[in-house]
Structure 1
Amino acid sequence: MKDAFSSCHPFINLFYFTAVIIFSMFFLHPALLIISLLVAVIYSIYLNGVKSVKFNLFMMLPTMVIAAIINPMFSHAGVTILYYIDDGNPITLESILYGIAVACMLVTVINWFACYNAVMTSDKFIYLFGRILPSLSLIFSMVLRFVPRFKVRIKEITEAQRCIGKSTSNGNIYHRIKNGINIISILITWALENGIETADSMKSRGYGLKGRTAFSIFKFEKRDRILLAVFIACTTIILIGTYQGITSIKYYPAILIKPLSVLNIFVYLAYVIFLCTPMILNIMEDMKWKSIKLNS
């Protein structure tokens, strides 16, 4: 397994991503935003490779730029007026910085969700919630697999239709539209049939019945206990910092931020350790394998 963090207990994975995504959604502090954005992009590239690089360059970067531009065009709050647009509405420094912060937050959360989808597989989610909420956990795991499975399936259908001359690149506009509708119809039919087959299969296996047992390869080992302790300690420090207002910033009407102090640095350090833990595990694992190869 390439990612060492993926081999940890599912509860550790879920705890990490839940906390990271919540922190990334609500912390608009510039330092915390930059830390979270950098770690999210690096970890996403580590997990998904070149696909993640293309996604961030061609999708996320334009999204960030657009989101950063839109806010000052519609929000004119703030006391630092830079200039006026044609209709007399002011463009303020505060609205520009807030737009950039929100854009960074959006891209960061999307990257963290990409990492979540790569690490938290459906079997892990069902393992954690299958006995507590069997129906909801099954539906949720199917929803998470919805987009990647449909992308693969529509590619297969398109290739099959191209072989018989009925793809969206054959014929005039009318025939292309007709072929496209036919491809979508095949995809929807497959999705409905697959849903019925999945429901019948799970029902025949007794899924959700009381007393049903299930095989599991997951064990809560010593490494998981250490990681849980580290996560709880870092989360506690971050929450204390949140209570003290260290993780917050006011953009309107004027930018107001806590001055740098020893406690601030301590909170930032805890945030860095918490976010970088998966990459630290991967680095340690790589060093371990290199050491084994050299000694063998």
Structure 2
Amino acid sequence: MINSFETYHPIVLFTFFVAAIGMGMFLMHPVFLAITIFSAMSLNFALRRGRFLKDWKLYVPLFLIMAIINPLISHNGKIVLFYMNGNAITVEAICYGLAMATMLTAVMLWFSSYNEVITSDKFLYLFGKISPVLALTLSITMRLVPHFTEQLSRIAKAQKTMGMDYTTGSIVKRSKSVMRIISILITWALENAIETADSMKARGYGVGKRSTFSLFVFERRDGWVLAIICVLLSVTLVGSVLGYATFYYYPTFSVISGEWQSFVMYGIYFMLLMLPLVIELKEALKWQSLKSKM
């Protein structure tokens, strides 16, 4: 389980994910895409382990759907494989669909890792002073989905023990079971909202200016890592502007550069995205060294 990277200052963590997600959403170059999906999968696996494998039941169908849709709606490209209902199915459209699916899957993995690392207290620390109401609203909103999902699972299991299993029986019986579960969930949600409001009122929320308390301290190591992220990101952005991350799928594939400058850009982008795992490996080796000296 990765833990060293999570101990860094929230500004460092947030900057990394902004860089990773921002670059991942725009770089469609095959080499950069390969680096993006590999890094996103590696970090997500390190953070979530068993849950990472379970999520691929969702990611794989979404990947296939996104990859298939593009060649069915886009018929651009010079290399035609066959015709379907008079429309050309081209290699370029298939590859572009695969690239889009890879990019979107990587972005979803980055956001999944973001939710693991940037907890509500870190988010409130980052944006609480800028806009306390907005920060609190976003924090509560992001918490609702996992909280409701967990409560829904509990309700469904409780109803199943009472003979109201929504997975068995006739359609009418299953529909009644589902409606009952939803009704219980809505009732619980309303009660939870009232309890939250009462709790906030009891703590004096909205009465005068609020003071804040935080355990986060910006240390020297945070400054070094933040500087490394900014430098690597800046070089990647400059390289992208200069065309080292440019790749065209239409009307046909452009050439992937084999110049040394391109390989330098690939390496810098790889170092940027793999920084959390490098930090974790460094700390693990340091811990092993300390244990060997005991």
TM-score (norm. length: structure 2)? 0.93
Q: Deviations over 1:89-142 (max 9, x none)?
A: 111121111111001001101111110011011111011111211121112112
Partner of 1:270: 268
Identity %: 41
Q: Report the 3-state secondary structure (helix = DSSP H, G, I; strand = E; otherwise coil) of the residue aligned with 1:82.
A: strand
Q: Distance in 2 between matches of 1:171 and 1:59?
A: 26
CA 1:238/1:198 → structure 2, altered by over 3 Å: closer, same or farther?
same
CA–CA distance in structure 1, aligned partners of residues 201 and 237 of structure 2: 43
Partner of 2:29: 29
What is the rounded CA distance, in whole Å, between the counterparts of 1:26 and 1:289 in structure 2? Answer: 38
How many angstroms apart in 1 are the aligned matches of 2:71 and 2:168? 45
For structure 2, the 5+ residue unaligned runs are none
Partner of 1:89: 87
Q: What number of residue pairs does the alignment pair up?
A: 294
Q: Which residue of 2 aligns with 1:194?
A: 192
Distance of 1:4 and 1:188 partners within structure 2: 39
What residue identity is the alignment partner of 1:220? F
Q: Deviations over 1:47-74 (max 9, x none)?
A: 1112211322x22123222221221111
CA distance in 1, matches of 2:171, 2:18: 47
In structure 2, how many angstroms separate the alpha carbons of the residues matched to 1:39 and 1:139? 31
Do 1:250 and 1:256's aligned partners in 2 also have CA atoms closer than 8 Å? yes
Distance 1:83 1:215 in 2: 64
Distance 1:171 1:95 in 2: 45
What is the aligned partner in structure 2 of residue 158 from structure 1? 156
The alpha-carbon deviation at position 258 of structure 1 amounts to 5.6
How far apart in 2 are the matches of 1:284 and 1:209?
A: 47
The question of whether the paired residues in 2 share the 8 Å contact of 1:135 and 1:208 is answered with: no
Q: Is the 8 A contact 1:131 1:208 kept in 2?
A: no
1:62 has 2:61 as partner: yes
| Equivalent pair of 1:36/1:108 in contact (CA under 8 Å) | yes
Separation in structure 2 between the aligned mates of residue 202 and residue 102 of structure 1, nearest angstrom: 44
Other structure's SS at 1:83 match: strand
By relative contact order (CA 8 Å, sep 6+), the higher-ranking structure is 2
State the superposition RMSD in angstroms. Answer: 1.9
Q: Is this contact kept in 2: 1:134–1:208, CA < 8 A? A: no
In structure 1, list runs of 5 or more residues that go unmatched.
Answer: none
1:207 Cα offset (Å): 4.0
Structure 1 Cα separation of the partners of residues 49 and 206 of structure 2: 37
Deviates more, 1:181-190 or 1:96-105: 181-190
2:287 equivalent to 1:289:
yes
Equivalents in 1 of 2:263, 2:205: separation in Å?
Answer: 49
Contact 1:246–1:258 (8 Å) recurs in 2: no
Shift of 1:2: 3.8
> Helix, strand or coil for the counterpart of 1:148?
helix
Q: Given the alignment, which residue of 203, 208, 231 partners 1:233?
A: 231
Partner secondary structure for residue 90 of structure 1: strand
Instruction: State the SS of the aligned residue for 1:217.
Output: coil
Q: What amino acid is the match of 1:140?
A: L
Q: Which residue is equivalent to 1:15?
A: 15
Change (3 A) 1:82 1:285: same
User: If the length of structure 1 is used for normalisation, what is the TM-score?
Assistant: 0.93
Matches for 1:119-138 after TM superposition, within 5 Å: 119-138=117-136
